[in-house]
Amino acid sequence: MRHSKVKDLLSSEKTNYEVTVKGWVRTFRNNQFIALNDGSTIHNLQCVVDFENTPEATLKRINTGTAVALTGKLVESQGAGQKYEIQVAQLEILGDCDAEKFPMQPKKHSLEFLRENAHLRVRTNAFGAIMRVRSVLAHAVHTYFQDRGFVYVNTPIITGADAEGAGEMFQVTSLPLDNLPKNEEGNIDYKKDFFGKHTNLTVSGQLEGETFAMALGQIYTFGPTFRAENSNTSRHLAEFWMIEPEVAFNDLIDNMDLAEDFIKFVINYAVERCADDLKFLEGRLLDEEKQKPQAERSEMALLEKLNFVLNNDFKRVSYTEAIDILRDSTPNKKKKFQYLIEEWGADLQSEHERFLVEKHFKCPVILFDYPAKIKAFYMRLNDNTEPGRETVRAMDILFPGIGEIVGGSQREERYDVLVEKMKAIGIDEEELWWYLDTRRFGSAVHSGFGLGFERLVLFVTGMTNIRDVIPFPRTPQNAEF
């Protein structure tokens, strides 16, 4: 008999029929009640074992973590806490689990401990919920773009380009590291390498994405990206997934509209489809909040926070306006954000971003028109700016508790201006000849953005560390699995 999924059984309209379920024992109480989880839902199915007619030796093998197949009648439960249960008639142990040695005991573990056991943490309620939400959000991303006629493009993972020009790349080589061939000048001779040139893991699929937008009109990428930035924070990963739409003929305003609409769509998609998981995660958070002093507790519960984002416009503010707000603000009793006064052009630090989003506007913020010198080379220079105060049509979306969730821009479509900018910062034209071709042949206004998928999952699940929303996090000194 094919086995059923617990999720389907719990929403079954009839009872008193025989079913088989397969899953893992979460708890086994009074030698009688198995709480079975099969990963299809946060809810366990209570399975009542006929212990009088089950051999003692079999009962002993039912531990937290044991894999079992259970067959019996699905009936309405007499006990409190669940609607249905199975009266087990047939019990098969599929895989034993040594209760003494199994790290995932039925108790609350610290997130640090769970990170060290990333291969097993998904067997906990919280990580099961997070990973289901992540999966639904990925589906939402494809649904949004596919329904609107965007073409999904797979940009290369191994590339010769540094899309962000920030030099934060993982090098790729097939050569033996202890015996790299050198050229006459004594430098590594990449001509002898697999691709005949120097390559790295992609930091962004944008540049390749742009070439496709210039033919297909509207495209999106959704793939892994890599950054060798040594920032050991709760918001950075060395390997993360990015969604990058790119749209021909869109200007910066269209880009903002697209980003806001897209983010609201995917959040709503998860809210509608992951009610049980989100409710569980909200409860978990509320428990955590109770441990904190009153002043540090968050004002909104998880679902309230998600609904708030869905029901309010993102606040659109230029960099210059933001600097003015920060200059006049006192983040705590002692100091103003004074040092920004002298420094129009300074990059905002995360404390500034947090202040704007969490204290000042108290909603998601789209910051735009950044100083040219702190942003990437490909962004469209604004017309008519003061010399020394040049700005670009960049936009970052900042989220409460997260900081930057989206980075994007209208692109510099003018060949000459782009080449000039590349020269100024030492980007080799010949390296990016193919990118420049988009501006040589039928160039047009176009825009796009990158959304860090894990930062989105972080926001929707209410988790606070990015390492807890990706199956196997890659961070400095950590690639265990």
State the nearest-atom distance from the C-beta of 163 to ligand 4AD, in Å: 5
Nearest to Mg ion of 24, 314 (CB atom): 314
Q: What minimum distance in Å lies between the beta carbon of 225 and ligand 4AD? A: 7
Q: Considering only CA atoms, which of 231, 60, 225, 233 is closest in space to residue 156? A: 225
Residue 393 binds which one of ligand 4AD, Mg ion, none, with CB within 5 to 8 A depending on kind?
none
The answer to whether 243 contacts ligand 4AD (rule: CB under 6 A) is no
* CA-based nearest residue to 246, from 229, 274, 221: 221
CB of 140 to ligand 4AD, least distance (A): 16
Which of 65, 209, 364, 407: binder of Mg ion (CB under 5 A)?
A: 407
Using CB under 6 A as the binding rule, whether residue 237 contacts ligand 4AD is answered as: yes
Q: Are 104 and 64 in contact (CB under 8 A)?
A: yes
Least distance (Å) from ligand 4AD to the CB of residue 162? 11
Among 68, 163, 427, 469, binds ligand 4AD (CB under 6 A): 163
Residue 146 and residue 153 in contact, taking contact as beta carbons nearer than 8 Å: no
Q: In terms of CB distance, is 165 or 462 closer to ligand 4AD?
A: 165
Helix, strand or coil for residue 211? helix
Name the residue nearer to ligand 4AD (CB basis): 240 or 314. Answer: 240
Q: In this structure, what token pair is assigned to residue 402?
A: 């997260």
Q: Where are the beta strands (DSSP E) in 216-362?
A: 218-226, 239-248, 315-318
Judged by beta carbon, residue 146 or residue 234, the one nearer ligand 4AD is 234
> Could you say which of 150, 220, 240, 262 contacts ligand 4AD (CB under 6 A)?
240
Q: Which residues of 21-46 are buried (b: 16+ CB within 10 A; e: fewer)?
A: bbbbbbebeeebbbbbbbebbbbbbb
Query: Nearer to ligand 4AD by C-beta: 229 or 276?
Result: 229
Q: CB of 7 within 8 A of CB of 273?
A: no
Contacts of 215 (CB under 8 A, 6+ apart): none
Query: To the nearest whole angstrom, how small is the minimum distance from the Cβ of residue 411 to ligand 4AD?
Result: 8
**Rounded CA gap, 237 and 221, in Å?**
19
Q: How far is the CB of 51 from Mg ion (least distance, A)?
A: 59
- Compute the distance between CA of residue 449 and CA of residue 442 in angstroms, rounded to an integer: 21
Q: Which does 227 bind (CB under 5 to 8 A by kind): ligand 4AD, Mg ion, none?
A: ligand 4AD
**Which residues make Cβ contacts (< 8 Å) with residue 52, sequence separation at least 6?**
none
Helix (H), strand (E) at residue 266: helix 252-273
Q: Which stretch binds ligand 4AD (CB under 6 A): 68-76, 81-89, 272-280, 398-406?
A: 398-406
Near ligand 4AD by CB under 6 A: residue from 86, 130, 340, 405: 405
According to CB under 6 A, which one of 244, 277, 282, 369 is a site residue for ligand 4AD? 244
Residue type, 335: K
Among 164, 260, 277, 282, binds ligand 4AD (CB under 6 A): 164
Query: How far apart (Å, rounded) are the C-alpha atoms in residues 48 and 72?
Result: 9
Can you tell me the distance from the alpha carbon of 148 to that of 159, in angstroms, rounded to the nearest whole number? 29
Tell me the window of 55-63, 70-78, 249-257, 401-409 that interacts with Mg ion (CB under 5 A).
401-409
Q: Contact, 467 vs 237, CB < 8 A?
A: yes
Applying CB under 5 A, does 452 fall inside the site for Mg ion? no
**CA 363 to the chain's CA centroid:** 20
Residues at the site binding Mg ion, with contacts judged by CB under 5 A:
407
Residues at the site binding ligand 4AD, with contacts judged by CB under 6 A:
163-164, 204, 206, 227, 229, 236-237, 240, 242, 244, 404-409, 448-450, 452, 454-455
